[in-house]
Amino acid sequence: MLSDQFLVEMRLDRARIPSFNEYPFSLHAVRNLDTLPLHRSVTFIIGENGSGKSTLLEAMAVAWGFNAEGGTQNFNFDTRASHSPLYDYVQLSRGYKKPRNGYFLRAESFYNVATKIEELDDGPGGPPIIASYGGVSLHAQSHGESFLALLMHRFSGNGFYILDEPEAALSPTRQMSALVRIHQLVQDGAQFVISTHSPILLAYPQAWIYRLDEDGVTRIAYEETDHYQVTRDFLNNYQMMLEVLFAD
């Protein structure tokens, strides 16, 4: 059946894996992965540090055609070749519609993207790239301001966006602003795949949430996430929680 969403699912070509004892195939999230269906609007990937969230998103992004360090499909630079070979072992099932826009945001390497934009704008060519980011140098803004400039100006409807920990530079209030912008774009036909630790972003209604752990990849409800439960318990009784945490 044909689908009108941009990315329907990601499949691991398990028959071609050289060894599940070698990184990145040794990650629980990879060795137990078969097919990862995606929500037509918003899919979240969560898990502890080192669980493989960024590795999965990176493989998806590179297989789609994005630069491994982030940016649009037109970016082609390599500050430090550190991406895993997993992208070469996944297959993407795409819908019949093609997105009009797209972007891969990696919080850890967005600085490199901002630098590349300045380098390209300093050279000969067409209109400045920074104009599509709001016209203000991303390096002249705080990390959080530059992230929001990306969301507000560079992203548009009918786009496909992969975001790796977009909350990294955002205050709780700015995370809510990002949530509003994501909703606006979803209503205009955008699709998002997001890895996050933010209980605020995870609250997006009807989103699919996949947890990565020793059992592999499991789809769970928002209220089942550690992000929701731990934050709720801490805020509801933070004094007792601090006593437990600081106990000898």
pLDDT tens digits, residue range 57-73?
A: 999 999 999 988 888 88
Strand, helix or coil for residue 193: strand
pTM above 0.85, yes or no: yes
d(C-alpha 97, C-alpha 214), whole Å: 35
Per-residue pLDDT at 142: 83
- pLDDT single digits (tens) 208-228: 999 999 888 999 999 999 999
User: What H or E segment, with its residue span, contains residue 143?
Assistant: helix 143-149
What domains are defined for the chain? Answer: 7-246 (3.40.50)
Per-residue pLDDT at 134: 83
User: What H or E segment, with its residue span, contains residue 208?
Assistant: strand 208-213
pLDDT higher than 60, residue 15 = yes
pLDDT higher than 80, residue 33 = yes
pLDDT higher than 70, residue 163 = yes
Looking from the CA of 105 toward its CB, the CA atoms found within 13 Å total 26
Q: With bands split at pLDDT 50, 70 and 90, how would you rate the model's confidence at 82?
A: low
Q: With bands split at pLDDT 50, 70 and 90, how would you rate the model's confidence at 81?
A: low
Q: What share of the chain is helix, strand, coil (3-state, %, to 5)?
A: 45, 20, 40
- pLDDT single digits (tens) 186-206: 999 999 999 999 999 999 999
pLDDT higher than 60, residue 80 = no
Per-residue pLDDT at 36: 97
Strand, helix or coil for residue 224: helix
Strand, helix or coil for residue 66: coil
pLDDT higher than 90, residue 207 = yes
pLDDT higher than 90, residue 4 = no
pLDDT higher than 60, residue 107 = yes
What percent of the chain is modeled with pLDDT above 90? 66
* Pairing between β-strand 35-37 and β-strand 7-12 as defined by DSSP bridges: antiparallel
Strand, helix or coil for residue 50: coil
Mean of per-residue pLDDT scores for the chain? 89
